[in-house]
């Protein structure tokens, strides 16, 4: 093997402390080195030409460039080598700038070290093999999980670019939390009015396959090539036949008995229902847990009234399989419920606020429903207990948020704004009412946000009290709210008619399960973890999976929508080419030596190790050995280090290469 060594002075940067000419001279004596030269600027065009010409004229097989960090110019030099006709992976960098000339002062020491680094690189490159990037075909189809505003936006963006989308929503209708909201800050435009057209657009879009009342069961494969198994839960309705006339709902004898999720428990619904009038699709679902027929085997009223015979009592859950190239996770959030301590939660909770005990102590989403024109009170502000108009209302912010001791350390971000909105809506509807807001800080960073809060205080006369509430209790039909005004430095007692708690936004209760299904890291709160908080905010470490909306952290609508479009754009980048090129530095199994202990499988962060059957001549399975799915492998090499017999090796950093690098030290430090 003929190796060329090219020592860069980087002007003075390397040349000042490393005697580059000496390094080049001494490197020429290293076994295998056929050519060695130094140059003022290797990365410059003339410098690169030195490399290219040497490769051609000296018929070099591999090159080592002693220059700046490989993170800087490895690509440059590999490309130069490739231009001159050798495989780009036969180019190694000796980092003699960041890790030598810039950190040492003494010229002889730095020169010795530089030579060592060159020798190490030479020994490695001797054992490098030509590699070609792995080409993986891309299925140009996306899966969007979650049909809230984020999922809707991502699905529409991708579909409008001409690619198919499978949109999966676990509820009977898409729309998510946004469909529950009355009005939105800071414009106070009607939430339903801006959302519904989007929902309909999704439903009618020829490129979008909508699977509601469905959940993702299993995800296999890798970027560009996922196979997703989705469970379609049984609606007990033939979706093809149902026209959405609603007769069955009207006639259901259960009528007003079941807990109405959409109304956050402030109203009831029949056993057969659509969550809300604008639901998409407008197809009912039977709640088997309350339906008389499922409980007693009698009734079947819905079937009797349905002219289309669309009721299917025997319908079963079905599994559908979809092939997709990218996955957008937009599973959103839940509000932290302070009455019941969530399972597996170390959160202590807020029993002293009486939520769940007092009917008139409600959370933000319940207030949204009360304030909504389509809500249980038709938009009139009435308290749940006795349907009277509250004259004094207290809003408490940061219930669960920013409270390391009892709740979560993070800020839920939207509560300052929606509380201001709530107080404002209340004042607009109850002109003689008094609204108090207990807050810690007002965080109104956003376009027109601060102005919005000021409006609530200044125009609508909402009284903001800086401080925490210690206790709420009932006395003479009032809710006594005891708190502290930390600005005035005195205790405050308010005899309120109703209390609204801005409870924290938390991850969906099954967020970790989905994360494990797909292979997405999540933080200790269950929010999904992006690769880089600044530069790769919508990507996760599993390539081809993107995040949108509040599943990543608390977000408001504009942020969620922006993130959804970003996630869509990331999918579209992927769909821009027919093949994916992946670094070929992946693990491979030496099948003859693999004993099948599968410790590699246990340590692989990417589930890239599969069990491969070994068959005898009769076709019987006699053993299992490890196999690497090159599409999933990211090249960390943990398997390689774990394998006791070294039967799985990481190409590009294999044992032989590392051994040679270590061995090159033997003559080091001379």
Q: Which of residues 6-35 bind other proteins (CB under 8 A)?
A: 28-33
Q: Which is nearer to other proteins, 127 or 468 (CB)?
A: 127
Is residue 537 a contact point for other proteins (CB under 8 A)?
no
Helix axes 191-204, 149-160, angle to 10 degrees: 40
Region near other proteins per CB under 8 A, out of 203-211, 392-400, 564-572, 586-594: 586-594
Q: Minimum distance from CB of 529 to other proteins (Å)?
A: 9
Measured distance CA(402)–CA(296) in Å, rounded: 48
Q: Where are the beta strands (DSSP E) in 9-96?
A: 33-39, 62-67, 91-95
Indicate the residue among 577 and 645 with the shorter CB distance to other proteins. 645
Residue 622, interface with other proteins (CB under 8 A)? Answer: yes
Closest CA to 317 of 213, 431, 444: 213
How near is the Cβ of 194 to other proteins at its closest, in Å?
38
Closest distance of CB 599 from other proteins, Å: 5
Q: Closest separation between CB of residue 597 and other proteins, Å?
A: 4
Q: What is the 3-state secondary structure (H, E, C) of 112-136?
A: HHHHHHHHHHHHHHHCCCCCCCEEE
Q: Are 538 and 563 in contact (CB under 8 A)?
A: yes
Strand 3-8 with 258-259, pairing: unpaired
- 2 sits near other proteins (criterion: CB under 8 A): no
The C-alpha atoms of residue 3 and residue 123 are separated, in whole angstroms, by 10
Shortest distance, position 116 Cβ to other proteins, whole Å: 6
Contacting other proteins (CB under 8 A), which of 259, 288, 387, 665? 665
Q: Does 629 bind other proteins (CB under 8 A)?
A: no
Identify whether the C-beta of residue 364 lies closer than 8 Å to the C-beta of residue 502.
Answer: yes
Q: Examine residue 409 and tell whether it contacts other proteins (CB under 8 A).
A: no
Residue 516 as a binder of other proteins (CB under 8 A): the answer is: no
Could you say whether residue 473 binds other proteins (CB under 8 A)?
A: no
Q: How far is the CB of 513 from other proteins (least distance, A)?
A: 18
Q: Is 593 in the site for other proteins (CB under 8 A)?
A: yes
Structure tokens given for 179: 């469909």
Residue 541 engages other proteins in binding (rule: CB under 8 A): yes
Residue 552 is a binding residue for other proteins (CB under 8 A): no
Q: What share of the chain is helix, strand, coil (3-state, %, to 5)?
A: 30, 25, 45
Task: State the Cα–Cα distance between residues 38 and 4, nearest whole angstrom.
Answer: 11
For residue 659, state whether it binds other proteins (rule: CB under 8 A): yes
Q: Where are the strands (E) in 126-207, listed by range?
A: 134-137, 141-145, 164-168, 183-184, 189-190
- Ranges within 290-319 binding other proteins (CB under 8 A): none
Q: What's the full length of the chain, in residues?
A: 670
344 binds other proteins (CB under 8 A): no
* Structure tokens belonging to residue 512: 């970790």
User: Is the CA virtual torsion 236, 289, 265, 376 positive or negative?
Assistant: positive
Q: Which of 599, 607, 610, 612 binds other proteins (CB under 8 A)?
A: 599
Of 104-112, 133-141, 147-155, 345-353, the segment contacting other proteins by CB under 8 A is: 104-112
Which of 296, 475, 476, 666: binder of other proteins (CB under 8 A)?
Answer: 666
- What is the C-alpha to C-alpha distance for residues 559 and 552, in angstroms, rounded to an integer? 11
Q: What is the 3-state secondary structure (H, E, C) of 289-331?
A: CCCHHHHHCCCCHHHHHCCCCCECCCCCCEEEEEEECEEEECC
8 Å CB contact between 373 and 366: no
CA distance 402 to 440: 9
# chain residues binding other proteins, by CB under 8 A: 73
Strand 225-232 and strand 214-222: the pairing is: antiparallel
46-75 residues in contact with other proteins (CB under 8 A) are 69-71
> Rounded to whole angstroms, what are the CA distances from 651 to 188, 542, 582, 590, 627?
58, 20, 13, 12, 14
Cα 354 off chain centre by:
34
- Closer CB to other proteins, 379 or 605, in the complex: 605
CB nearer to other proteins: give 123 or 322: 123
- Smallest gap from Cβ 584 to other proteins, in A, equals 13
**Could you tell me the smallest distance in angstroms from the CB atom of residue 30 to other proteins?**
7
Closer of 463 and 615 to other proteins (Cβ): 615
- Residue 267 in the binding site for other proteins (CB under 8 A): no
Nearer to other proteins, 457 or 614 (CB): 614
Q: How far is the CB of 667 from other proteins (least distance, A)?
A: 4
- Quote the least distance from Cβ 624 to other proteins, whole Å: 7
User: What burial letters (b/e) apply to 128-146, b meaning 16+ CB within 10 Å?
Assistant: beebeebebebbbbbbbbb
664 binds other proteins (CB under 8 A): yes
Q: Does 603 bind other proteins (CB under 8 A)?
A: yes
Q: Are strands 268-269 and 258-259 parallel, antiparallel or unpaired?
A: antiparallel
Site for other proteins in 423-462 (CB under 8 A): none
Choose the stretch contacting other proteins; rule: CB under 8 A; options: 314-322, 382-390, 470-478, 649-657: 649-657
What tokens does 517 get? 């299904």
Select the residue interacting with other proteins from 83, 98, 239, 460 (CB under 8 A): 98
The residue with tokens 């490197």 is 27
Task: Select the span of 382-390, 472-480, 573-581, 592-600 touching other proteins (CB under 8 A).
Answer: 592-600
Give all strands (DSSP E) within 134-213, no chain letters.
134-137, 141-145, 164-168, 183-184, 189-190, 208-211
Residue 104 as a binder of other proteins (CB under 8 A): the answer is yes
- Residue 660 has a CB neighbour count (10 Å cut-off) of 17
Which CB atom, from 572 or from 597, has the smaller least distance to other proteins? Answer: 597
Which member of 47, 284, 384, 637 binds other proteins (CB under 8 A)?
Answer: 637
Phi/psi region, residue 231 (left: phi>0; alpha: psi -120 to 50; beta: rest), is beta
When binding is defined by CB under 8 A, the residue of 45, 105, 404, 432 that contacts other proteins is 105
Nearer to other proteins, 355 or 527 (CB): 527
Q: How far is the CB of 640 from other proteins (least distance, A)?
A: 6
Q: Binding to other proteins (CB under 8 A): which residues in 108-127?
A: 109-110, 112-113, 116-117, 119-120
CB of 168: closest distance to other proteins in angstroms?
25
Residue 350 · residue 405 · CB < 8 Å: no
Task: Select from 242, 276, 640, 648 the one that contacts other proteins (CB under 8 A).
Answer: 640
On the question of a cis peptide bond just before residue 186, with omega within 30 degrees of 0, the verdict is yes
610 binding other proteins? (CB under 8 A) = no
Task: Output 270 or 637, the one with its CB closest to other proteins.
Answer: 637
Q: According to the binding rule CB under 8 A, does residue 658 interact with other proteins?
A: yes
Q: Does 585 bind other proteins (CB under 8 A)?
A: yes
Residue 346: name the closest of 408, 397, 401, 411 by CA. 408
The whole-angstrom separation of Cα 399 and Cα 363 is 10
Q: Choose the stretch contacting other proteins; rule: CB under 8 A; options: 107-115, 220-228, 254-262, 551-559.
A: 107-115
Closer to other proteins by CB, 520 or 557: give it: 520
624 token code pair: 């299992």
Nearer to other proteins, 294 or 653 (CB): 653
């Amino acid at each position: 093997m003929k190796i060329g060594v090219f020592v860069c002075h980087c002007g003075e940067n390397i040349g000042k402390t490393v005697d580059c000419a000496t390094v080049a001279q001494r490197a020429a004596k290293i076994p295998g080195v056929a050519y060695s030269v130094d140059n003022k600027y290797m990365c410059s065009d003339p410098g690169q030409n030195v490399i290219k010409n040497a490769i051609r004229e000296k018929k070099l097989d591999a090159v080592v460039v002693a220059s700046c960090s490989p993170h800087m110019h490895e690509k440059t030099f590999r490309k130069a080598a490739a231009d001159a006709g050798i495989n780009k992976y036969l180019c190694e960098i000796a980092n003699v700038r960041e890790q030598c000339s810039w950190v040492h002062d003494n010229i002889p020491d730095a020169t010795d070290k530089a030579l060592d680094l060159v020798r190490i690189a030479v020994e490695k490159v001797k054992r490098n093999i030509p590699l070609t990037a792995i080409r993986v075909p891309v299925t140009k189809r996306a899966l969007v999980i979650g049909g809230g505003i984020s999922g809707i936006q991502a699905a529409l963006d991708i579909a409008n670019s001409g690619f198919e989308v499978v949109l999966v929503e676990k509820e009977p209708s898409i729309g998510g939390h946004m469909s529950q909201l009355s009005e939105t800050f800071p414009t106070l435009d009607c939430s339903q009015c801006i959302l519904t057209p989007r929902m309909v657009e999704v439903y009618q879009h020829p490129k979008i396959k909508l699977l509601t009342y469905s959940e993702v069961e299993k995800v296999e494969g890798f970027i560009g090539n996922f196979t997703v198994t989705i469970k379609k839960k049984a609606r007990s309705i033939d979706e093809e036949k149902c026209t959405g006339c609603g007769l069955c709902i009207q006639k259901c004898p259960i009528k007003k008995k079941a807990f109405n999720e959409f109304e956050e428990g402030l109203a009831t619904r029949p056993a057969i229902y659509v969550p809300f009038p604008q639901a998409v699709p407008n197809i009912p679902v039977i709640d088997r847990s309350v339906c008389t027929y499922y409980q007693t085997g009698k009734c079947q009223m819905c079937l009797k009234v349905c002219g289309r015979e669309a009721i299917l009592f025997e319908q079963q859950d079905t599994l559908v399989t979809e092939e997709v190239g990218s996955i957008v996770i937009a599973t959103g959030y839940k509000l932290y419920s302070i009455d019941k301590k969530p399972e597996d939660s170390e959160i202590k909770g807020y029993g002293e606020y009486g939520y769940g005990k007092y009917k008139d102590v409600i959370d933000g989403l319940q207030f949204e429903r009360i304030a909504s024109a389509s809500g249980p009170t038709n938009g009139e502000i009435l308290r749940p207990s006795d349907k009277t108009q509250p004259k004094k209302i207290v809003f408490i912010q940061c219930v669960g948020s920013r409270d390391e001791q009892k709740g979560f350390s993070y800020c839920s971000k939207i509560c300052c704004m929606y509380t201001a909105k709530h107080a404002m809506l209340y004042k607009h509807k109850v002109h003689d009412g008094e609204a108090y807001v207990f807050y810690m800080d007002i965080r109104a960073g956003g376009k027109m946000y601060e102005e919005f809060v000021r409006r609530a205080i200044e125009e609508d006369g909402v009284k903001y009290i800086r401080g925490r509430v210690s206790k709420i209790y009932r006395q003479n039909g009032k809710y006594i709210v005891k708190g502290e005004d930390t600005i005035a430095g005195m205790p405050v007692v308010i005899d309120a008619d109703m209390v609204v708690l801005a409870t924290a936004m938390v991850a969906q209760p099954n967020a970790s399960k989905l994360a494990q299904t797909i292979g997405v890291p999540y933080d200790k709160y269950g929010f999904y973890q992006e690769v880089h908080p600044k530069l790769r905010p919508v990507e996760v470490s599993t390539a081809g999976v993107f995040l949108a909306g509040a599943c990543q952290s608390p977000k408001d609508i504009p942020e969620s929508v922006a993130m959804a479009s970003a996630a869509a754009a990331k999918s579209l980048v992927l769909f821009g080419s027919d093949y994916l090129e992946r670094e070929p530095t992946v693990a491979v199994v030496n099948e003859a030596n693999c004993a099948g202990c599968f410790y590699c499988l246990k340590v692989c962060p990417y589930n890239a190790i599969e069990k491969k059957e070994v068959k005898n001549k009769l076709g019987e399975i006699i053993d299992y050995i490890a196999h690497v799915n090159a599409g999933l492998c990211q090249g960390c090499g943990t398997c390689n280090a774990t394998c006791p017999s070294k039967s799985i090796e990481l190409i590009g950093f294999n044992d032989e290469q590392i051994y040679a690098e270590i061995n090159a030290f033997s003559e080091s430090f001379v």
